[in-house]
Amino acid sequence: MEAYFFILTILLFLLVLKVKNVILITALLIFIATFRDVSVGVDTMNYFYNYKYQIKEGTFLSYLMKTEIGWMLLNLFVKKYFDNFNVLLFLSSSLTIIPLSYTFKKNAFNPVLAFVLYVLLFHYFFSFSIIRQAIAGAFFVLSVYFLEERKNIKFILSIAVGALFHYSVLVLLPLTLILKRINLSYKWYCLILIITYIFGFSGFFDTARTYLEYLPFDKYAHYVDHKIDVEFNRVTSYLFILPKTIFFVYTFYYVKKYKLNISDLQKKLFWLGMVVLNLFLSVPQISRFVWYLSVFEVFIIVGMMRSLPRSKKLEGGVFYIIYSIAYFVYYLLSNRFGVVPYVFSI
């Protein structure tokens, strides 16, 4: 099944280059996510066992300290009316892809390119492992669109829906409103990125994982020991995120130089994600939070390819293609999110 999943993904790439129907692309992405094997995605097997053996009607209240109410209700609904884990995958992937598809169509001049980047930069595959957070992240992206359109009630409601599946998205509500009001110079944005990169590389913030045990939910307290026995290769890891810092510096330089029409809030959110990643890369539970923010690189690249002056479009295109392909190849070869475990055993 895993090999066929990979083949379908390649076919998807070929199709999106020709197809301009966003609904069809959305359906294809949901289809692939729905019918993947439970071994595809680092955490999919855990979700399967939780669905099959742990989440029951009689344990509803006691289990609320271990998982969010939206995810609990979705599991109970599927067990009661369908009793099929693939239905759960279908609903969860739909709750992820459809809000993103809507936002791509509304907020990106080229939604097909946005989908290609969404797959190339592995945000799509990342959602196979962190299913609950992927749903929350999709609704956060939608909420940012509503905020920029000054639809404040829809902004709050979107974050609230996301929080039903992962409480951590609530942290982004005040952060987003604060970022919206902050305006720094190009020099300060870049300087802060460089300083946080140096501090993070030094290991100064490695002890941050110990504070997770004070969070008021069992599942976050258990994260204190998550991957504690895994050796952290600091040099390799910080080389891995260096291109993202270069990406921001390069992009922001041209935004400032040519006064390009790029969403200021999306740019700030991506920047904040890089700051957090620089400081806490060694703490998987915190660095995983950055997925909420790094996904805005998709919108930024699409916006840049539209807004760059004609004399710079080739340079920008080459830069962003190299950036995207490099990360795609790295993720693929390292099987970072467990999406191609048996691809070479067809």
User: pLDDT tens-digit profile of 217-247?
Assistant: 445 544 544 444 456 788 888 999 999 999 9
Question: Is 2:340 a contact under the CB 8 Å cutoff?
Answer: yes
Mean of pLDDT values over 315-330: 93
| pLDDT, mean of residues 274-296 | 87
Question: Does pLDDT of 313 surpass 90?
Answer: yes
Residue partners of 148: CB distance under 8 A and separation at least 6: 107, 263, 265
Q: Are the C-beta atoms of residues 268 and 179 closer than 8 Å to each other? A: yes
Residue 60 has pLDDT above 50, yes or no: yes
* pLDDT for the residue numbered 208: 58
Residue 342, in any domain of the structure: no
Percent of the chain at pLDDT above 90? 54
Q: Identify whether 341 is part of a domain.
A: no
Given a contact cutoff of 8 angstroms between Cβ atoms, the answer to whether 275 and 193 are in contact is yes
How many domains, in total, are found in the chain?
Answer: 1
For the cut 60, the answer to whether the pLDDT of residue 137 exceeds it is yes
Ranking 13-27, 124-138, 264-278 by mean pLDDT, the lowest is 13-27
Structural domain harbouring 111? 2-334
Tell me if 276 sits within 8 A of 241, measured CB to CB: no
In a domain, 339, yes or no: no
The band of 3, judged by pLDDT with boundaries at 50, 70 and 90, is low
Largest CA distance in the chain: 65
Establish if 176 belongs to a structural domain.
yes
* Type of residue numbered 85: F
How far apart CA 115 and CA 101 sit, in angstroms, is: 8
Q: What is the pLDDT of residues 171-183, one digit of tens each?
A: 999 999 999 999 9
Please compute the mean of the pLDDT values over residues 142-168 and round it to a whole number: 95
- At 212, the pLDDT band (50, 70, 90 cuts) reads low
270: closest CA among 301, 315, 240, 308? 301
Rounded average pLDDT over 140-150? 96
CB 317 within 8 A of CB 305: yes
Model pTM score: 0.89
For 45, counting Cβ atoms within 10 Å of its Cβ (0-12 exposed, 13-18 middle, 19+ buried), the class is middle
Residue 342 has pLDDT above 70, yes or no: no
CB contact at 8 A, 255 and 262: yes
Question: Is residue 258 in some structural domain?
Answer: yes
Which pLDDT does position 171 carry in this prediction?
Answer: 92
Residues making up the chain, counted from first to last = 346
pLDDT > 50? residue 27: yes
Q: Is the pLDDT of residue 291 over 50?
A: yes
Flag the least confident range among 64-68, 106-110, 114-118, 185-189.
64-68
Nearest of 311, 293, 4 to residue 141 by alpha carbon = 293
How much is the mean pLDDT over the chain? 85
Mean pLDDT across 58-64: 59
